[in-house]
């Protein structure tokens, strides 16, 4: 399986980016793509460009990585390759990027993969089939809801676990970590409200989700 890693970064986080890309290069010898969002076009635009580059390269598995991630082990890629179950689990997210998942798994799926109550988008894994089936992130969303919406769409397509039971690879917390660096985006209430209103408008609000 040909795997690519796409890193999204912004100029304000050069130190974190350097740690991120060096750690990936130390443990991964595949193709690495970098998108520096100079114009602050937003998460969806940046990550979609990375996905398009990896699609065009003919890769089979895409990993989207934010610049505050750090790879701790060569297993950081292989555990996600091994967790893919065609037709069932073709999209996973590193759960421990969210402090809301620090309590650990809430269960396991039929393949003995851990399930978590919240989704985070710092390290997201997709098969080629997911993008061909579901498409890219919705660029009408700006720095809020992009990952939630995309994962929800993948779940509706049956290519990952049900919403609110988000799947991750086993022992991912031993292979990856999030650096302690300030967020550039933060939680902007205006972006959150605008994104939620858009999802209401298009009829795509996930179950039990409010702004």
For 138-173, what is each residue's pLDDT tens digit?
999 999 999 999 999 999 999 999 999 999 999 999
Which stretch of DSSP H or E encloses residue 83? helix 75-83
Whether the CB-CB separation of 17 and 9 falls below 8 Å is answered with yes
Report domain 3-139+154-183's class: alpha beta
Please check the confidence at residue 23 and state whether its pLDDT lies above 70.
yes
Q: Regarding predicted confidence, which is higher, 80 or 38?
A: 80
Find all residues with CB under 8 Å of 39, minimum gap 6, and list them.
none
Per-residue pLDDT, 177 = 96
Averaged pLDDT of the chain: 95
Please check the confidence at residue 181 and state whether its pLDDT lies above 90.
no
Please check the confidence at residue 101 and state whether its pLDDT lies above 80.
yes
DSSP class of residue 172 equals: G
Name the 3-class secondary structure at 9: strand
Per-residue pLDDT, 168 = 98
pLDDT digits (tens, 9 = 90+) for 28-48: 999 999 999 989 999 999 999
Share of the chain above pLDDT 70, in %: 98
Mean pLDDT value of segment 189-206: 96
Per-residue pLDDT, 180 = 82
Our measurement of the distance from residue 137's CA atom to the centroid of its chain's CA atoms, rounded to an integer in Å, reads 11
Whether the CB-CB separation of 86 and 109 falls below 8 Å is answered with no
Q: In 10 A of CB 201, how many CB atoms? A: 10
Per-residue pLDDT, 32 = 97
Least-confidence region, from 95-99, 112-116, 181-185: 181-185
Find all residues with CB under 8 Å of 141, minimum gap 6, and list them.
42, 43, 44, 149, 195, 198, 199
Q: Regarding predicted confidence, which is higher, 134 or 183?
A: 134
Which stretch of DSSP H or E encloses residue 43? helix 43-56
- The model's pTM: 0.95
**What's the rounded Cα separation, in Å, for the pair 86 and 83?**
10
Categorize the per-residue pLDDT at 184 as very low, low, confident or very high, splitting at 50, 70 and 90.
low
Q: Which pair of tokens denotes residue 166? A: 């988000």
Mean pLDDT value of segment 51-66: 98
Mean pLDDT value of segment 80-103: 96
Please check the confidence at residue 183 and state whether its pLDDT lies above 80.
no
């Amino acid at each position: 399986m040909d795997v690519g890693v796409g890193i999204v970064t912004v100029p304000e986080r050069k130190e974190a980016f350097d740690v991120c890309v060096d750690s990936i290069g130390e443990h991964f010898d595949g193709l690495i793509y970098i998108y520096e969002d100079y114009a602050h076009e937003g998460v969806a635009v940046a990550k979609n460009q990375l996905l398009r580059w990896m699609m065009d390269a003919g890769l089979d598995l895409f990993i989207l990585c934010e610049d505050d991630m750090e790879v701790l082990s060569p297993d950081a890629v292989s555990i996600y390759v091994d967790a893919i179950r065609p037709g069932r689990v073709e999209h996973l997210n590193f759960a421990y990027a969210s402090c809301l998942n620090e309590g650990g798994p809430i269960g396991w799926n039929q393949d003995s993969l851990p399930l978590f109550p919240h989704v985070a988008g710092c390290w997201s894994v997709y098969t080629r089939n997911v993008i061909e089936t579901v498409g890219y992130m919705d660029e009408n969303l700006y720095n809020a809801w992009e990952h939630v919406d995309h994962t929800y769409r993948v779940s509706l397509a049956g290519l990952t676990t049900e919403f609110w039971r988000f799947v991750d690879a086993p022992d991912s917390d031993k292979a990856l970590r999030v650096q302690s660096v300030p967020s550039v985006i933060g939680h902007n209430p205006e972006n959150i409200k605008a994104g939620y209103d858009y999802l209401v408008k298009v009829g795509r609000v996930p179950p039990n989700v409010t702004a």
